Amino acid sequence: MRHRVLALAVLMAAITYLDRVCISLTAGPMMRDLGLSEDQMSLVFSAFTLAYGLFEIPTGWWGDRVGTRRVLTRIVIWWSSFTIATAAAFNYGSLLLIRFLFGVGEAGAWPNAARTFSRWIPVTERGTAQGIFFMGAHLGGAITPLLVMSMLTVMQWRTVFVVFGGVGFVWSAVWYWWFRDEPEKHRAVSRKELEHIQQGRGAPESHHLDSAGWRRILTHRSLLALCAAYFTQTYGFYFFITWLPRYLEKERGITSMALGAAAMFPLLTSVLADFFGGVTTDRLTKKFGLRIGRAGVGGVSLLLASVFLISGTAIDNNFIGIALISLGLAFSNFLLGASWGTCVDIAGNHAGVVSACMNSAGQVGGVLSPIVATFVVKRYDSWSSPLYLCGIIYFLGAICWLFIDPRKPIFKHAMDESTQQINLTSSSPA
């Protein structure tokens, strides 16, 4: 049954990227119809991300308090409604407001998914679960470019948003009807599976956070370093889901359906990276402990992402260049299982809030990425310059992982014997 929960979460992740990536492919006709400049479109991209980041922690806290069955249902209904509302934009101001409210509604989706996994997935399977979850997200993002470009040949961009927005309502109905916040409350979960899930999980204690609890969260060294590392990962990723088609068109001369295929390829390689990154972090955690299994995977991933991204941007050959750039994005996503797994490892019963802190920091990078990209392009008169900057930022993110230790939880009482055993393994000479 835990695999079915994961499957539903993966579908949700795919739908989020179906809706998010759509706007980057429709940006051209939207800018023409609404009379928008590149600077204005950058602010539209960032309006979503700003709202998303601002409401991450409150919505993560809400999921910890009332459960993810209700909260995720509300989130998906809200963002689906504003996906459809995007079709009604009539000028710059209306589009900016709609995308901001879109971000308000979608905020908390990832932290509440992490909260769900903290209750339904045993500790040694969480990295894999997170990897599969992001695999679904990036698969949705990967097929969106070709899907949107095909749809634009037979319909207006406004109709595309109406079609995509309807998908989320179906998911919400199934989730609310079938899912339960705790596996022991689901009639279909066997006693054997429940015992397996509860290994290393921790009891569902009070989710109340007083000022001292918030202070422990917001000053925890590993979490602060994790937030900084995730900022760098998300900064680069948001360039790929906003301005990558523009880079491919302006810098590499790729247009029409070939543009959809080229924009799809980096996210397609990330699908494999998501899965294998999650499996790798779990296997290394079992063998060497949490420090190597999580922090080792995270640091090496961003280092390789930096190398491949800078190398691919510097190469003129389109095939080799795009392949290397795609590997750069793939390795930046290889660490997602380790990042979100670390949040759950150190959070105890506050996985929603802690993962929301990390994701909020990431969204700061997402807000800045499209805006800084257009500034850098104007400064250096090249669409390659934002990619070089992303490569440098990835390298700084790799350094951040040196200061992350998943063996040290924020609330020490949250650890039980299973989790302590994993931590002891990571403290051994091996």
Digits of tens for pLDDT over the chain (430 positions)?
Answer: 999 999 999 999 888 877 777 887 788 889 999 999 888 988 888 888 888 888 988 898 888 888 999 999 999 999 899 999 999 999 999 999 999 999 998 888 988 998 898 889 887 788 888 888 888 887 877 777 778 888 888 889 999 999 988 889 999 999 999 999 999 999 999 999 988 888 755 555 555 667 888 888 889 999 999 999 999 999 999 888 778 878 888 888 776 667 666 666 777 788 889 889 989 998 999 889 889 999 999 999 999 999 999 999 999 888 888 889 989 999 999 999 899 889 888 887 787 788 889 988 998 998 899 889 989 999 998 999 999 999 999 999 999 999 999 989 888 654 443 444 444 444 433 3
Query: What is the per-residue pLDDT for 26?
Result: 86
Inter-residue contact 308 to 331 (CB < 8 Å): yes
SS3 state of residue 413? helix
Q: Is residue 21 part of a domain?
A: yes
Inter-residue contact 254 to 262 (CB < 8 Å): yes
Query: What is the per-residue pLDDT for 204?
Result: 53
What CATH number has the domain bearing residue 178? 1.20.1250.20
Domain extent at residue 257: 2-197+220-427
- Cα-Cα-Cα-Cα dihedral sign, residues 344, 51, 88, 95: negative
What gap in Å lies between CA 118 and CA 183, rounded to an integer?
11
Q: Is residue 355 part of a domain?
A: yes
| Residue 301: how many other CB atoms lie within 10 Å | 30
Q: Is residue 215 part of a domain?
A: no
What gap in Å lies between CA 332 and CA 406, rounded to an integer?
19
What gap in Å lies between CA 318 and CA 120, rounded to an integer?
44
Q: By C-alpha distance, which of 381, 273, 378 is closest to 333?
A: 273
The helix (run of H) or strand (run of E) holding residue 395 is helix 385-400
| Residue 424: how many other CB atoms lie within 10 Å | 11
Q: Is residue 171 part of a domain?
A: yes
Query: What is the per-residue pLDDT for 254?
Result: 75
Q: Is residue 122 part of a domain?
A: yes
Inter-residue contact 348 to 361 (CB < 8 Å): no
pTM for the model:
0.74
Inter-residue contact 113 to 352 (CB < 8 Å): no
Query: What is the per-residue pLDDT for 203?
Result: 54
Q: Is residue 204 part of a domain?
A: no
Q: Is residue 206 part of a domain?
A: no
Tokens of 315: 């190469």
Q: Is residue 185 part of a domain?
A: yes
Query: What is the per-residue pLDDT for 272?
Result: 86
Please tell me the total count of domains within the chain. Answer: 1
HSE-CB of 165 using CA atoms within 13 angstroms: 20
Residue appearing with tokens 């997402």: 366
